[in-house]
Amino acid sequence: YPIVRHLTHATLRTGVTPSRVKSCSCLSAVLHGNNLLVFGGTGIPFGENNSNDVHVCNVQYRRWNLLNCKGKKPNKIYGQAMVIINDYLYVFGGTTGYLYSTDLHRLDLSTREWVHLKPKNAPLDLPDERYRHELAHDGQRIYILGGGTSWMSYPLDKIHAYNLETNYWEEIVTRPHENIGYPAARRCHSCVQVKDDVFICGGYNGELILSDLWKINLQTFQWMKLPGVMPEPAYFHCAAVTPVSNFQKWLRVSSVNIDAAISSVLSNLPNIVSLKEHQRTPLKAFVGGNHVFALLPTGFGKFCFPGRVRSGHLSG
């Protein structure tokens, strides 16, 4: 809900903003160089105010533009997932609010032309229709992780993968974490990819809101349950990986001790006295140059990176 509104109101006040989805749900967004691509989404009432436009925000110049596209555009949908591979934007699944989709579309970012891809599989071999899933890729295949409909969530012991070279959907049998098994079926979870490792967290399985963290390797398809958990169970949330070098550079220039920096940041955040240990520990590891996956209080990143958000500042 708040992503476009915060970007538009805080720092991005120029250009053609995605007005249809200013108060949206279930849009898709991916970063391509300095450009944030936003596709689809729905406003209120959900399912009756959908979009199939592509808006591009140049995060360096803080300017929105509507991407004028040609070809066979996807339906006006929300809850879809997308990835960018070799200057092509791939969009899979989603819902109109009434019907769920198994469609796969590709947008050539050079020519701005949409193509509705037609995999060669028999209809029964296609992935099930779904929304609120996530996608990962290894350059050759696009992998679907979870998702579902309003009445069910799909399991993760087997994963559908679209082969870009053969134009076929394949079914990958994954390997369980020893003595633990597979992640629970889920939709509305978040997902990030670091090279060949894909991390998922939280989500909803139809009965419970989840708080667990899992990793799957796209070379071995081995699942691993991570020891940490989210501070609170969550679904319909987002996750991101931040480059380590940016944070390291800021600390070196300012020469601020990490504990002092955390205290200074917290002093600017209302109603937050301290970080929990499972938040402070990965933050320190992050500064040390390690990839980490952690959830911090809302607004924390804004004050950590004052150059990125004009309203943020760091005292001390």
Q: What pLDDT digit, counting tens, does each position of 135-158 carry? A: 999 999 999 999 999 999 999 999
Paired tokens of 276: 């929990």
- pLDDT-based confidence at residue 255 (cuts at 50, 70, 90): very low
What angle do the packed helices 244-254 and 277-287 form, to 10 degrees? 80
Q: Using CA atoms, how far apart are residues 193 and 233, in angstroms rounded to an integer? A: 21
Report whether CATH 2.60.40.10 matches the domain 119-241: no
In 10 A of CB 114, how many CB atoms?
Answer: 19
In the predicted model, what is the mean pLDDT of residues 44-61? Answer: 88
Question: What pairing do the DSSP bridges indicate for beta strands 168-173 and 190-194?
Answer: unpaired
pLDDT at position 107: 98
Higher pLDDT, 155 or 17: 155
Cβ(220)–Cβ(312) below 8 Å:
no
pLDDT at position 31: 87
Q: Using CA atoms, how far apart are residues 118 and 72, in angstroms rounded to an integer? A: 12
In the predicted model, what is the mean pLDDT of residues 292-303? Answer: 47
pLDDT at 293 over 90: no
In the predicted model, what is the mean pLDDT of residues 106-132? Answer: 97
Q: What pLDDT digit, counting tens, does each position of 205-243 carry? A: 999 999 999 999 999 999 999 998 888 899 998 888 876
* CA quadruple 144, 146, 152, 158: dihedral, nearest 10: 80
- pLDDT-based confidence at residue 249 (cuts at 50, 70, 90): very low
pLDDT at 263 over 80: no
- pLDDT-based confidence at residue 49 (cuts at 50, 70, 90): confident
- pLDDT-based confidence at residue 307 (cuts at 50, 70, 90): very low
Q: Using CA atoms, how far apart are residues 76 and 40, in angstroms rounded to an integer? A: 7
Higher pLDDT, 10 or 123: 123
User: 159: buried, middle or exposed (CB in 10 Å: 19+, 13-18, 0-12)?
Assistant: buried
Q: Is the peptide bond before 45 cis (omega within 30 degrees of 0)?
A: yes
- For the chain, the residue count is 316
CA nearest to 20, candidates 76, 63, 79: 76
Paired tokens of 195: 């090279």
User: 98-107, 118-127, 192-201, 280-289: lowest mean pLDDT where?
Assistant: 280-289
pLDDT at position 58: 92
Q: What contacts 194, CB < 8 A, 6 or more positions away?
A: 241, 291
pLDDT at position 228: 85
pLDDT at 194 over 50: yes
Where exactly does CATH 2.120.10.80 map onto the chain? Answer: 1-96+103-118, 119-241
What is the 3 state secondary structure string of 148-213? Answer: ECCCCECCCCEEEEEECCCCEEEEEECECECCCECCCCCECCEEEEECCEEEEEEEECCCCEEEEE
Residue 213 CA to its chain's centroid (Å): 15
| Whether the model pTM is above 0.85 | no
pLDDT at position 114: 98
pLDDT at position 143: 98
pLDDT at 258 over 70: no
- pLDDT-based confidence at residue 46 (cuts at 50, 70, 90): confident
Is the four-CA dihedral 19, 22, 27, 33 of positive or negative sign?
A: positive
pLDDT at 196 over 80: yes
Which residue shows structure tokens 């629970």? 184
Paired tokens of 18: 């995605």
pLDDT at position 17: 60
Best CATH choice for the domain 1-96+103-118 from the list 2.40.50.140, 3.30.1490.190, 2.120.10.80, 3.30.230.10: 2.120.10.80
- Alpha helices by DSSP H, the chain: 2-10, 244-254, 258-266, 277-287, 300-304
pLDDT at 313 over 60: no
pLDDT at position 121: 97
In the predicted model, what is the mean pLDDT of residues 278-284? Answer: 69
pLDDT at 167 over 80: yes
Q: What pLDDT digit, counting tens, does each position of 22-33 carry? A: 445 567 889 898
Residue 170 CA to its chain's centroid (Å): 23
Mean pLDDT, all residues of the chain: 80
Q: Is the peptide bond before 176 cis (omega within 30 degrees of 0)?
A: no
pLDDT at 45 over 60: yes
Which residue shows structure tokens 């004009």? 310
